[in-house]
């Protein structure tokens, strides 16, 4: 569905070659964006100020800066295990990328900046469903606090730069994403791809059991990656305020039910056991998704079971190429 918003606009999508990024690029093209630039890490290390400055020199040639749109998806990110092993890197890399990129965008009079935050920014014991107004009522869950707080600083920056400079930036909070082309590397993947890979490999080996982390009691909400991309592009087109906005499905499921669903869908016949010496992570996670609908008319469309089947089928078809 094309819109006139993207006419004569140049779009920088950081992280555009990644999981979410590939779907955002697809949505942008569907909406009529023709001039899209994806900065690759080999050419622009966005943790370095000089590389960010060079990115703007390179992409502002021949255009009015007001016609440049930045969608900042790039992040150093991983699951509970990766967060525990690399808290300093996750804090530094994400903070430096976000703060300097937005600062240089303002300095260069860029027309629109869409910052992508994370549900990890919410306090550990936020009442469910998470409302955007509750972002500051406590400290995030410890294992992913450095990452969550680093990303959350873009919200503070967005609000401060709008107040002082009138800079047009927005801050979106997607819940956990899943879908085809996700990261299935067991060292750094999130819960859905990690479980899919674990169960399918156990089934092929003929294992009698699989062991999952924690006790299965925490709940999570998941957003299909194509829905997330649609939400990000819709917000970029239609939302011009610095109040944070959740992007979620409104569907909350326990890790136990999720694991059992994946076991059923993949046909694993062994026993499921829980390793309670491993951390659960945040106890509950589910978003209030009303603001996105009110502010820019967006809501998720994908049924969770259908999305899960799509993800499993993609993994089975592509696993030969996955390390």
| Residue numbers annotated as active site | 147
How many residues are present in the chain? 323
What SS3 state is found at 283? coil
Euclidean distance between CA atoms 246 and 235, whole angstroms: 11
Q: Give bridge partners of residue 121 from the DSSP assignment.
A: none
Euclidean distance between CA atoms 68 and 40, whole angstroms: 18
DSSP 276: T
Output the six-digit token pair for 88: 């300093």
Alpha helices in the chain (DSSP H): 19-30, 49-59, 80-85, 87-107, 145-165, 191-205, 225-238, 255-266, 290-296, 304-318
Contact 230, 201 (CB under 8 A): no
What SS3 state is found at 43? coil
Residue 139 to residues 80, 134, 136, 173: CA-CA distances in angstroms? Answer: 17, 11, 8, 17
The edge-to-edge listing of strands for the beta sheet with 252-254 is 176-178, 219-224, 252-254
Instruction: Determine how many CB atoms are found less than 10 A away from the CB of residue 127.
Output: 11
């Amino acid at each position: 569905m094309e819109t006139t918003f993207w006419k004569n606009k140049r779009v920088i999508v950081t992280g555009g070659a990644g999981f979410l990024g590939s779907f955002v690029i697809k949505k942008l093209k569907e909406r009529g964006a023709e001039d899209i630039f994806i900065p690759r890490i080999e050419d622009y290390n966005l943790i370095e100020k000089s590389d960010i400055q060079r990115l703007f020199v390179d992409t502002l040639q021949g255009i009015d800066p007001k016609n440049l749109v930045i969608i900042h998806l790039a992040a150093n990110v991983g699951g509970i295990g990766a967060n525990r092993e690399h808290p300093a890197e996750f804090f530094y890399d994400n903070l430096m990328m976000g703060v300097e990129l937005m600062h240089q965008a303002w300095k260069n009079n860029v027309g629109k900046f869409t910052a992508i935050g994370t549900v990890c920014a919410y306090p550990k014991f936020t009442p469910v469903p998470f409302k955007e107004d509750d972002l500051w009522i406590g400290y995030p869950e410890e294992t992913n606090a450095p990452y969550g707080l680093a990303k959350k600083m873009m919200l503070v920056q967005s609000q401060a730069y709008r107040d002082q400079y009138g800079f047009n930036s927005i801050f979106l909070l997607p819940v956990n994403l899943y879908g085809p082309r996700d990261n299935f590397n067991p060292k750094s993947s999130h819960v859905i791809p990690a479980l899919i890979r674990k169960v399918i490999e156990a089934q092929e080996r003929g294992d009698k059991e699989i062991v999952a982390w924690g006790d299965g009691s925490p709940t999570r909400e998941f957003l299909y990656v194509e829905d997330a991309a649609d939400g990000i592009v819709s917000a970029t087109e239609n939302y011009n305020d610095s109040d944070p906005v959740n992007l979620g499905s409104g569907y909350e499921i326990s890790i136990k039910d999720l694991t059992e669903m994946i076991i059923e869908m993949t046909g694993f016949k062994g026993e499921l056991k829980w390793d309670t010496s491993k951390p659960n992570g945040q106890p509950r996670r589910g978003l209030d998704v009303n603001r996105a609908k009110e502010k820019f008319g967006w809501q998720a469309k994908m049924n969770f079971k259908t999305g899960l089947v799509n993800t499993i089928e993609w993994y089975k078809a592509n696993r030969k190429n996955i390390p």
